[in-house]
Structure 1
């Protein structure tokens, strides 16, 4: 089985002077991942939200429409970068309204979607399924409703966007579909949010005996209400069981520093863990009991 190196980005936000500066920052991360021998680089949730620093203050609806206007350029640039470098690129998430129905009053609605770019030009998307209370209340966003597992040269990959990873059912579904590596682009603006996503990422790795790769935004963007600050320690996580490290950490970054964290996702070790680990939570479930108990729960 193949050993692949994955780079998770702690992407630093801050004031931008131009669109070119934004794209140059992206290219530097991709070039560094390539130099370090990575086959895949994972950027964070709300990556293109950094472009809001180029505009005047706006409300959430205006911000979504502003970001949507970059959709074609976003796709074309990442297609080109993936093809030129030979890397798979999880290009964070991007807010857009392609294929989105209008709201009840005719207002535009948008998706928060992660896009995975392949060197052969293929693009695969995953729309965030679990919107946070704030995203539901204050943003014109629509939730996704489809789980996908992708066959890649690196293994079978699924995406879970930030809050999605806090729901065990979602990761279990894609694990049952064959996922071996979960990519989790995130955006958390404070330490508490980060640790929720981090602890849940490691819990999902333990429960499902697979790898989870976490990336996030770091830094501050004064005056941009939608993406004003980021807190993250990106990492690559595995089960806390042999043959992996006791704490399940393959690689982890320094808190809140712009840069890359690179770790190996060795599918042979994953197979060894599932066959010889001290525990086997992926196999030792009792779904019949759970289903029976669930039917006896009082209705709300």
Structure 2
């Protein structure tokens, strides 16, 4: 499938799982009505994010996020809601004695891929364990990789997925305003600036289609910056939600986007691993998957 209609959501999500599921169902139906084949919802959309970035120890229904079984009834319900659409969403995962800030991708009646947040910012280390890998996976709309929020601040995260053949990278976030010097204008906040720059740079440096879903509004002491977006492989923003809750959509010829951006200066092909410091090298040097190394199309006219 070459042309993919992508939808991305900015919204608020709290501790009430039933309310979260109703919000998710509403966005799924809106995306489906718009012809979307891929829908991305934010980090911690099932049960909410932390109320603050120092601790999340307050008890009760508005305290710690509910921990969900990765194969439990909530995920089964999500699979049913998604139907034949590919849906990526964030949640808090229970795995034995471990807790993870996780993302899951479902579609076609099954789980297609999973990711556990690898890079934990200050505050999350008290609430979650860190994941330890990045994996791309095949879906009906192409090969996808997922990141969660702070993961995107590290170039190695997205590059790992690009080297593993990801054509689309979906990053799910609960990215807040600056906690020390917030701006009176959300659009001018310095953490909002970083959020947007990372999205554009990661798309451009890896020459992939980038889908960034973020929470919006206030939860506990945090105010999320919103501005979910879809970014072309050339770094251009195709659609965005802005400061308010909403959905952005774009139709992208993924194969052509990667072909056009990589046909001359291919950032994956032109890497020089032998020249880099050993600490900069990713584990292994996997073969670049098609269509990344394909012969450029002949142009007529």
Higher RCO (C-alpha under 8 Å, 6+ residues apart): 1
Change (3 A) 1:64 1:273: farther
* Residue in structure 2 matched with residue 68 of structure 1 by the alignment: 67
Match of 2:208 in 1: 210
Q: Is the 8 A contact 1:22 1:51 kept in 2?
A: no
TM-score by length of 2: 0.78
CA distance in 1, matches of 2:205, 2:44: 27
Aligned partner of 1:105 in structure 2 is none
Check if 1:4 corresponds to 2:4. Answer: yes
TM-score (norm 1): 0.78
2:225 to 231, 235, 238: 231
Deviation string, structure 1 residues 85-112 (Cα, Å, up to 9, x no partner): x211112x2112223x4xxxxxxx4110
Instruction: Structure 2: state its 5+ residue gaps.
Output: 178-188, 282-301
1:201 equivalent in alignment to 2:199: yes
- Aligned-residue Cα RMSD (Å) equals 2.9
| Higher share of residues assigned helix | 1
Per-residue deviation at 1:80? Answer: 1.3
More displaced, 191-200 or 258-267? 191-200
For residue 86 of structure 2, what is the aligned residue in structure 1? 88
Q: What secondary structure is seen at the aligned counterpart in 1 of 2:66? A: helix
Instruction: Give the corresponding residue for 1:291.
Output: 277
Q: Report if the CA contact (8 A) 2:88-2:104 is conserved.
A: yes
1:116 and 2:105 matched = yes
- Measure how far apart 1:194 and its partner are: 3.1
Number of aligned pairs? 265
Does 1:171 pair with 2:171? no
CA distance in 2, matches of 1:264, 1:184: 18
Q: Structure 1 unaligned runs (5+)?
A: 102-108, 241-246, 296-300
140, 145, 164: which one aligns with 2:127: 140
Alpha-carbon offset, residue 199 of structure 1: 0.9
